[in-house]
Amino acid sequence: MTVFLVICVFLLIGTTLFFFRKSKVANTKVEELTGILDGLPIAISATGMDKKWIFVNKFCEKMIGKPRKELHGQLCENWRSPICRTENCGITCLENGRLKTSCTLDSAYGETIDLQVDVAYILNYSGQRIGRIEVITDVTSFNQSLAGKEAQENLIKEVSSGMDKFLEISNYVNNSASELSNSAVLQFSITQQFMSSISELSDSLEHNINRIIETNKISLKAKEKTNIGTEYMKNLISTMDEINKSSTNIAEVIKIIENISSQTNLLALNAAIESARAGEAGKGFAVVANEIRDLATKSSETVKDIENIIKASLDNVQKGLNIVKDTDIALKNIVDTIDDTVNISKTLLENSKQQKQAISQLNDGTSKLENITEATVSTADKNLDVNKDMQHQIQKLKDVINI
């Protein structure tokens, strides 16, 4: 009996020593594992199936603000995070098959912290669920980087879209610049043709001005000569009037002579009658009377011929006078026409000079326009080259962005 008790005591002591050593080794392992978990820069919280804490590491202590000895055995909802007692609670999510949740906290430094909570069951060697572990990770920087990356991607998309639009605008500008260059070249060609036409018009106008000046001089000379002719015609009219008056006076004298001839013929007849009465004594006187009567008859006939000639002369003089007067009127009309021609020539000369001045100004303006057009052509070509280079650079930048 005593031996049995001794054996039992030895067995009990051996078992105690074995378990003590095992406990010491286990405690050492626990301390090592606890040190490892405390050294992690993440919060680790372990709870039993009753949702009470069985372990929190140092990082989790800092986040909760209480020591783990005080937290041990308390419900995890005492953390009072925004997701506690909500459908986003880590344990609730795990029970619903979700292994991940998240929340946002305000730190002691006044900053907002984004937390990601990964949840899993704690299993024993038999695979039974004996608790839950929550790993809380600060993902603020990651979220910010992700947000920055998304913003950067959005920015790149916007830049790429802007590049597409800018490339489209650049193509439009390129086409417009090309059309502008072609239009400027065409405008330059038209301007040169227009300047050539203006030069020809100016030369033609200068020639017309010279012709007008010559015509004006000729008209003035013609006016002077016509005025001289008009003066001669006036003198001729005056002379014709005098001839007409003299012819009229001659006609009057002829009538007197005709009357004298008639009276002489009558006296000769009376003398013949008286000589016939005288008989032989009057024969000589009768011969003389007959001669006188014949002479009177011839004188009368001659006077009538002269009268007819003078009448014809008077008629011719009158006709000549009428012609001279008509000629005088025609000369006056010619003088008036020449005056009108001179005035018109003066007006035309002034207008031509003004036109020449206007054409000269137009020529100057066109010359300036030609210079501007030439500069526009040069600028358009440069813009076209720059735009093509810009399109090439935009395409290269777009290729880089797409990469």
Q: Each residue of 78-119: pLDDT tens digit?
A: 888 888 889 989 889 999 999 999 888 776 556 788 888 899
Determine the straight-line distance between the first and last CA of the chain, rounded to whole angstroms: 91
Write out pLDDT tens, residues 281-309: 666 666 666 777 677 677 777 777 777 87
Per-residue pLDDT band for 7 (boundaries 50, 70, 90) equals: low
Q: Which residue has the higher pLDDT, 30 or 347?
A: 347
pLDDT, position 5: 46
Backbone angles phi, psi at 237, to 5 degrees: -60, -45
- Cα–Cα separations (whole angstroms), residue 13 to 254, 276, 386: 210, 241, 98
Write out pLDDT tens, residues 247-268: 777 767 777 777 777 777 677 6
pLDDT, position 18: 47
Which residue, 165, 175, 162, is CA-closest to 387? 175
pLDDT, position 49: 92
Instruction: Report yes or no on whether pTM surpasses 0.85.
Output: no
Q: Are strands 129-138 and 53-56 parallel, antiparallel or unpaired?
A: unpaired
**Residue located via tokens 């009268």:** 307
pLDDT, position 6: 44
Residue type, 160: S
Among the residue ranges 40-49, 76-85, 226-235, 274-283, the one predicted with the least confidence is: 274-283
* 115 conformational bin, left if phi > 0, alpha if psi -120 to 50, beta if neither: beta
- Residue 3 predicted with pLDDT over 50: no
Structure tokens at 334: 């010619």
Q: For 182-209, what is the mean pLDDT?
A: 75
Q: For 225-245, what is the mean pLDDT?
A: 75
Spell 137-161 as b/e; 16+ CB within 10 A means b: bbebeeeeeeeeeeeeeeeeeeeee
Task: Report all structural domains of the chain as residue ranges with CATH numbers, in order of start.
Answer: 37-138 (3.30.450.20), 175-401 (1.10.287.950)
Q: How many whole angstroms separate alpha carbon 195 and alpha carbon 182?
A: 20
- Residue 52 predicted with pLDDT over 70: yes
Structure tokens at 331: 């000369």
Q: How many whole angstroms separate alpha carbon 296 and alpha carbon 289?
A: 10
Q: How many whole angstroms separate alpha carbon 374 and alpha carbon 355?
A: 27
Q: How many whole angstroms separate alpha carbon 308 and alpha carbon 387?
A: 110
Per the CB < 8 A criterion, the answer to whether 102 and 89 are in contact is no
